[in-house]
Amino acid sequence: MASHRRSRRIANAPYFLTVTLRNRRARHLTDHVGDLRTTFRDARARAPFHIEALVILPDHFHLLCSLLDGDADFSTRIRLIKRGFTIRLRDAGIPLYRNARGEYDLWQRRFWEHPIRDEADFERHVDYIHYNPVKHVLVTRIRDWPYSSIHRDVRRGLLPVDWGGAEPVPPESGIGELP
């Protein structure tokens, strides 16, 4: 059995989370984005959290979230999102398979988490989230990806509409990568 160590949970710290479908070629998250958004709303109603930044890609999503004062239980939020979305797909008649344990085999069992250390780390992760659709060659301009919190940040005046430029950035530039 592989060991997996979670980082020390820090109450009140924002967390960067990456959650991935088991089948990396699947497009369930973007094909059923309305169901995923509803699932996020339901999860936030049951276990509140604030979405600092979010991008939904076909097979994974990146979430930068803040929890309530004294709360460091981001795992419950991810469990609610995974379970809720799986049930919505199943109820919509989307074929889902069960693993040897009898569980639906939609998601990877684990997820990546990183507690944000400081303001520079926060900004670096927000930029990474916003740039991710370009990194994965889904669009050439960040503003063309519809499933990103960048649009909210532009509406709020936090970022210019052309943030990230109009042309793709060459991969060798290192932009869109975390250190």
Question: In the chain, count of helices (H) and strands (E)?
Answer: 5, 4
pTM given for the model: 0.84
**What residue segments make up the domains of the chain, in order of their start?**
15-173
Question: Of 73-87, 121-135, 154-168, which range is least confident?
Answer: 154-168
Q: Which has more confidence, 10 or 66?
A: 66
Predicted confidence (pLDDT) at residue 111 exceeds the cutoff of 50: yes
pLDDT, position 160: 87
pLDDT, position 25: 92
Looking at the domain that runs over 15-173, which CATH code has it been given?
3.30.70.1290
Enumerate the H helices of the chain as residue ranges: 28-31, 33-46, 74-91, 119-135, 150-155
15 is annotated as an active-site residue: no
Question: Of 22-26, 36-40, 164-168, which range is least confident?
Answer: 164-168
Report d(CA 165, CA 175) in Å as an integer: 12
φ and ψ of 17, to 5 deg: -130, 140
Report d(CA 32, CA 37) in Å as an integer: 9
Predicted confidence (pLDDT) at residue 4 exceeds the cutoff of 80: no
- pLDDT tens digits, residue range 50-80? 999 999 999 999 999 999 888 889 999 999 9
Task: Report the percentage of the chain scoring pLDDT > 90.
Answer: 66
Report d(CA 6, CA 81) in Å as an integer: 19
Predicted confidence (pLDDT) at residue 124 exceeds the cutoff of 60: yes
Spatial contact of 42 and 80, defined as CB atoms under 8 Å apart: yes
Predicted confidence (pLDDT) at residue 2 exceeds the cutoff of 80: no
Beta strands 49-56 and 15-20, pairing class = unpaired
